[in-house]
Structure 1
Amino acid sequence: MSTTGGVRTARLLIRAGDDVPVDTPRIPAREAAERELSKPMYHENDPNLLQRALNRFWDWVGSIFDAASGAAPGGPLGLLVLILVVIGLVTALWWRLGTPQRTPGSVDTLFDDGPRSASEHRAAAEKHATAGRWNQAVQERMRAIVRSLEERVVLDPRPGRTADEAADEAGRSLPDHADGLRASAREFDDVTYGGRTADRQAYLRLRDLDVELERAKPRLTGAAQGAAE
């Protein structure tokens, strides 16, 4: 506050008994004015602490965008184009990969509970299919396929095996069904870890593959052929 303003305020605030303004020295006048202006009635419409913090935050964001627009080719328009490109890439990745459903430290194992037979997994799959729970039906049918291959000794029972690993290993012994096995493993991964939703057709494909594999004869490897001879 200027000296003139301080004296003028003091004259308005400090009056004698006969209502005649009294001249007050500069420092006491300034202190009197500060005391007067510190009263709550003068600050009723001041922003609160949260509003002040938000104002500072948006000022900071604005300064960042100003600096970025100055550095981006084409100025503000170029910055807008870059932002739209980034949003487009993120959207494309989300559409392709789906919403992540995996928890930190999870393992992509095929079997997440105690050992069950192939027939038990098939029964569970049919129960889910009857109720229209296609994701669970697909998962149980893939487990039935792998468990059946283990029971037939096409695959060695191995804890922690993933659907992809099972499909690759079984495809070497059943080359005519290698593509179907890999497609089924991808379907399992999509609904289990990729946030995708299965449908009736997806389940029927796995069920048909399960039936075909039951009738298929595995091809012996070189080592197995030598042992058989």
Structure 2
Amino acid sequence: MRGAGGTTAAVRPTWTDQDIPVDTPRVPAREAARDELSDPMYHEHDPNLLERGLDRFWNWIGDLFSDAAGAAPGGPLGLVVLVLAVVGLVAALWWRLGTPWSPARSPEALFGNTARSAADHRTAAAAHAEARRWTEAVQERMRALVRSLEDRAVLDPRPGRTADEAAAEAGRLMSAHADRLRAAARAFDDVTYGGRTADEATYQALCTLDLELEAAKPSLATSTAPGAAG
């Protein structure tokens, strides 16, 4: 717009209240945004608490294996070989030592409250062996062995006797079988109180020992008290 004398006059724009931009302070703006985003409609497809926990767990597992694979010789393949080796070692120890958390019990009486004959125990042992229940078969055959020694008066019948005590007493009278008697008592204690599992070889060894003791004669030593003769 030209004024007098040919000069151009500056034209100032005219602002209305509606044209002035709104300048909202930062804190109220943040609170308004938080209130808006808290609307349930924005979270309809969010994972629930369990899904978020599982996601974090699997992410942690993935990071753990990634770090382990980076540190293991041979990378991921070396890690797989290492894990398989550890699993194999644990399985071997489990098989050899039995259930780790099975509490060992103190040896109790060999026969408990039962009063069966040696033949009854052998019959029970054979039935367990036929069903491949080797632990029960070993237990019954050990009871048959000791009951047979009592029936033959090699051992005096004594309530409360343990397998270890029976083996020690019989071993003193049948020294040729002393080591195998101790081994039989130890096998009985392992499967009865130590939580281990017997196998067929242990049962067969016990059967052989039982039959050999049936045919063996004890070496009964007689002692004379000093001054008894004369």
Q: How does 1:24-173 map to 2 (within 5 A)?
A: 25-26=24-25, 27-54=27-54, 76-77=71-72, 89-100=89-100, 102=102, 104=103, 106-109=105-108, 111=110, 113-116=112-115, 117-151=117-151, 152-154=153-155, 157-159=158-160, 161=162, 163-173=163-173
Give the match for residue 215 of structure 1.
215
What are the superposed Cα offsets for residues 131-168 of structure 1, whole Å, 9 maximum, x if unpaired?
A: 5544322221111112232342435625161x344323
Give ranges in structure 2 of 5+ residues lacking alignment.
1-17, 74-78
Give the match for residue 225 of structure 1.
223
- TM-score normalised by the chain length of structure 1: 0.62
Q: Tell me, in whole angstroms, the C-alpha distance in 2 between the residues paired with 1:57 and 1:138.
A: 47
Is the 1:191–1:197 contact (alpha carbons within 8 Å) kept by the matching residues of 2? yes
Is the 1:173–1:220 contact (alpha carbons within 8 Å) kept by the matching residues of 2? yes
SS in 2 for 1:220: coil
Alpha carbons of structure 1 residues 101 and 43: separation in structure 2 relative to 1, 3 Å: closer
Is the 1:146–1:166 contact (alpha carbons within 8 Å) kept by the matching residues of 2? yes
Instruction: Report how far residue 208 of structure 1 moved.
Output: 3.2
Q: Tell me, in whole angstroms, the C-alpha distance in 1 between the residues paired with 2:224 and 2:20.
A: 121
Is the 1:100–1:195 contact (alpha carbons within 8 Å) kept by the matching residues of 2? no
Alpha carbons of structure 1 residues 150 and 24: separation in structure 2 relative to 1, 3 Å: farther
Is the 1:155–1:170 contact (alpha carbons within 8 Å) kept by the matching residues of 2? no
Give ranges in structure 1 of 5+ residues lacking alignment.
1-17, 70-74
Residue identity (%): 54
Tell which structure's C-alpha radius of gyration is larger. Answer: 2
Alpha carbons of structure 1 residues 169 and 87: separation in structure 2 relative to 1, 3 Å: farther
Is the 1:154–1:218 contact (alpha carbons within 8 Å) kept by the matching residues of 2? no
Alpha carbons of structure 1 residues 52 and 130: separation in structure 2 relative to 1, 3 Å: closer
What are the superposed Cα offsets for residues 114-138 of structure 1, whole Å, 9 maximum, x if unpaired?
A: 1323333223223434555443222
> Alignment length, in residue pairs?
200
Give the match for residue 180 of structure 1.
180
**Per residue, is there more helix in 1 or in 2?**
1
Is the 1:191–1:198 contact (alpha carbons within 8 Å) kept by the matching residues of 2? no
Is the 1:154–1:173 contact (alpha carbons within 8 Å) kept by the matching residues of 2? no
1:198 partner letter:
D
